[in-house]
């Protein structure tokens, strides 16, 4: 009689990760999927042609930014997003939003909104679709012209997130009112004098050329002031106490996403600023200048949203922004 | 002194959990065998949500660790923020 002896045999891999990843994580050790998807992926050599529209640069060129880093892979994303983790996280959030929409629909909560709250929400939120779209464009620019996959991959995700925010705002508008409400928001964005400062600010950012300056102007300064003002002070504190809790439910993604992505924005800012006094001075200057411009642009918006309480709310948001910049190692 | 232990499937999802446990429990040792990571620790081992969140850079529901949990020994004390294995009653 024969017996079959089943034995466990361990097969050791000859190497734990790719050489180009091993070089960046300090030797051959098991690397995370994020590291393998990100590190060493930036094309660095053998570019045949220079861009015809900007022959002073290579196709991928770190000198497009005034920020200088010895190794652009230091700008890691603390959330460790690569395609799979990012899509899974957003898919979970999308399901939560769907659940909220079903809850609001099944109980006909939007029909019970006071008319003034409905109109006020549309008046403030609909023009912001265009701001979110600009955020999408600006992060596309960072992804296209920035350097280092660690930064550009995360910027791609961030640009799609901005598009998602614009879509959520559109969906909210269509749920609250007739489709004409989107058109009305666009008209305000194009011609209401109270929105023109913000529009000018946004359009000035759209023509910036330095990917890191855009990063600071859009992701740190404008979003850092706009999101707490609109989704904190306006929706959670103002509308929700006046019968607009269903609007807070339907926009729940935005503040959650802003808090999550702020960790990435802060990490990039902090790491880039810590590399050299020159970087720190540049980023500090941008954070201040674009922060001041965003404040000026949001002043009339805060007034539309919160009336006479707008200025105090904006000042509180600015104080938080200054604290955040300081924590990221920028000068006061 | 008797050990407590916990074992996970060796995959990408359990890596940050294992790293967090090893960081929080200086006496813990990880034994890698094919497809499995077993962590032994004298008397007491604690898994903290906060430490896992630090590893992955985003929020983590401690219940998620059950997806890759294979086996464990020790008395369990569990809430939203931590899971502790020990031989104390």
**Chain B residues in contact with A33 (beta carbon < 8 A):** 12
Element containing residue B4 per DSSP (H, E) = strand B3-9
In chain A, residues with a C-beta closer than 8 Å to the C-beta of B33 are 8, 10
- Comparing CA positions, the residue from A268, A298, A6 lying closest to residue A158 is A268
In chain A, % of residues over pLDDT 70? 99
According to the model, what pLDDT value does residue B18 have?
95
Instruction: Please say if the pLDDT value at position B41 is more than 90.
Output: yes
> Where do the domains of chain B lie, and which CATH numbers do they carry?
3-86 (3.90.56.10)
For position B58, what pLDDT does the model report?
82
Question: Comparing A10 with A195, which gets the higher pLDDT?
Answer: A195
More confident of the two residues A8 and A140: A140
Substitution target from A37, A77, A80, A90 for chain B, most B beta carbons within 10 A: A80
A285 and A196 in contact (C-beta within 8 Å)? no
What's the ipTM? 0.74
Give the DSSP H or E segment for B20: helix B15-24
Of A11, A30, A78, the CB nearest to B57: A78
Q: Do B58 and A32 touch (CB under 8 A)?
A: no
Please, what is the Cα angle at B14 between A20 and A149, to 5 degrees?
30
Provide the pLDDT for residue A5.
83
Note whether A32 contacts B34, CB cutoff 8 Å.
Answer: no
Give the rounded percent of residues in chain A with a pLDDT score beyond 90: 93
What distance in Å separates residue A90's CA from the closest CA in chain B? 12
Query: Which residues in chain A have Cβ-Cβ distances shorter than 8 Å to B12?
Result: 32-33
A42-78 pLDDT tens trace: 999 999 899 999 999 999 999 999 999 999 999 999 9
Q: Do B34 and A11 touch (CB under 8 A)?
A: yes
Provide the pLDDT for residue A177: 94
- Residue A209 sits at φ, ψ, to 5 deg, of -115, -15
Q: Is B56 in contact with A79 (Cβ distance < 8 A)?
A: yes
Q: Do B58 and A30 touch (CB under 8 A)?
A: no
pLDDT value for B24: 96
A271 touching chain B per CB within 8 A: no
> If you count residue pairs, one on A and one on B, with CB atoms under 8 Å apart, how many are there?
21
User: Does the pLDDT value for residue B1 go beyond 80?
Assistant: no
Instruction: Work out the average pLDDT over A295-324.
Output: 97
Mean pLDDT of B35-40: 94
3-state secondary structure chain A: CCCCCCCCCCCCCCCCCCHHHHHHHCCCCCCCHHHHHHCCCCCCCCCCCCCCCCCCCCCCCHHHCCCCCCCHHHCCCCCCCCHHHHHHHHHHHHHHHHHHHHHHHHCCCHHHCCHHHHHHHHHHHCCHHHHHHHHHHHHHHHHHHCCCHHHHHHHHHHHHHHHHHHHHHHHHHHHHCCCHHHHHHHHHHHHCHHHHHHHHHHHHHHCCCCHHHHHHHHHHHHHHHHHHHHHHHHHHHHHHHHCCHHHHHHCCHHHHHHHHHHHHHHHHHHHHHHHCHHHHHHHHHHHHHHHHHHHHHHHHHHHHHHHHHHHHHHHHHHHHHHHHHHHCCCCC
CB A120 within 8 A of CB A177: no
Residue B57: per-residue pLDDT: 81
Average pLDDT over chain B, rounded to whole?
A: 93
Query: Do the beta carbons of residue A322 and residue A254 sit within 8 Å?
Result: no
Which pLDDT tens digit goes with each residue over A71-112?
999 999 999 999 999 999 999 999 999 999 999 999 999 999
Q: Tell me if B15 and A32 make a contact (CB, 8 A cut-off).
A: yes
Query: How does residue A198 score in pLDDT terms, banded at 50, 70 and 90?
Result: very high
* Percent of chain B scoring above 70 in pLDDT: 100
Contact in structure between A136 and A163 (CB atoms under 8 Å): yes
Residue B35 touches chain A, beta carbons under 8 Å: no
**A16 CB within 8 Å of a chain B CB:** no
Q: What is the pLDDT of residue A42?
A: 95
CA distances in angstroms from B84 to B5, B44, B78, listed in the order given: 11, 7, 6
- CB of B58 within 8 Å of any CB in chain A? yes
Closest Cα of chain A to B60: distance in Å?
11
B56 touches chain A (CB under 8 A): yes
Distance from CA of residue B69 to its chain's centroid?
9
pLDDT band at A263 (very low <50, low <70, confident <90, very high): very high
- Which of B88, B10, B80 has the alpha carbon at shortest distance from B47? B80
Domains and CATH numbers, chain A: 81-327 (1.10.620.20)
Per the CB < 8 Å rule, is A32 touching B12? yes
Q: Searching chain B, which residue's CA lies closest to the CA of residue A257?
A: B58
List chain B residues with CB under 8 Å of A8: 33-34
Task: Extract the tokens encoding A72.
Answer: 């652009």
Q: List all residues 6 or more positions away from A308 whose beta carbon is below 8 Å from its beta carbon.
A: none
Report chain B residues whose CB lies below 8 A from the CB of A34: none
């Amino acid at each position: 009689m024969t017996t079959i002896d089943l034995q466990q045999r361990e097969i050791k891999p000859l190497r734990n990760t790719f050489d180009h990843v091993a070089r960046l994580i300090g030797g051959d050790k098991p690397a995370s999927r994020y590291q393998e998807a990100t590190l060493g992926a930036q094309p660095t050599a053998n570019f045949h042609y220079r861009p015809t529209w900007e022959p002073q640069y290579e196709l991928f060129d770190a000198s497009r930014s005034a920020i200088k880093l010895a190794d652009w892979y230091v700008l890691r994303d603390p959330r460790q997003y690569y395609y799979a983790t990012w899509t899974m996280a957003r898919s979970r959030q999308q399901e939560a939003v769907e659940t909220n929409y079903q809850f609001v629909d099944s109980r006909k909560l939007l029909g019970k909104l006071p008319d003034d709250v409905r109109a006020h929400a549309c008046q403030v939120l609909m023009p912001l679709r265009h701001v979110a779209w600009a955020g999408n464009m600006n992060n596309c620019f960072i992804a296209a012209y920035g350097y280092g996959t660690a930064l550009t991959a995360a910027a791609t995700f961030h640009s799609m997130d901005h598009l998602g925010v614009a879509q959520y705002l559109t969906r909210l508008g269509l749920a609250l009112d007739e489709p004409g409400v989107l058109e009305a928001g666009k008209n305000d964005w194009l011609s209401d004098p109270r929105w023109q400062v913000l529009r000018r600010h946004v359009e000035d950012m759209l023509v910036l050329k330095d990917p890191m300056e855009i990063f600071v102007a859009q992701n740190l300064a404008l979003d850092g002031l706009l999101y707490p003002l609109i989704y904190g002070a306006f929706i959670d504190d103002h509308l929700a106490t006046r019968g607009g809790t269903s609007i807070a439910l339907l926009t729940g993604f935005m503040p959650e996403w802003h808090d999550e992505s702020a960790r990435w924005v802060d990490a990039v800012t902090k790491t880039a600023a810590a590399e050299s006094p020159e970087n720190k001075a540049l980023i500090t200057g941008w954070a201040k200048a674009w922060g001041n411009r965003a404040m000026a642009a949001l002043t009339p918006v805060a007034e539309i949203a919160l009336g006479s309480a707008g200025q105090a709310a904006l000042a509180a948001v600015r104080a938080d922004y200054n604290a955040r910049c300081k924590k990221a190692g920028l000068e006061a | 002194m008797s050990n407590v232990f916990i074992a996970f499937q060796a995959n990408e999802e359990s890596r940050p959990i294992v790293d967090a446990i090893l960081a929080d429990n200086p006496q813990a040792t990880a034994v890698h065998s094919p497809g499995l990571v077993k962590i032994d620790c004298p008397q007491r081992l604690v898994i903290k949500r906060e430490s896992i969140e630090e590893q992955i850079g985003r929020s983590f529901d401690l219940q998620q660790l059950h997806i890759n949990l294979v086996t464990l020994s020790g008395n369990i004390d569990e809430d939203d923020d931590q899971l502790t294995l020990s031989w104390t009653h």
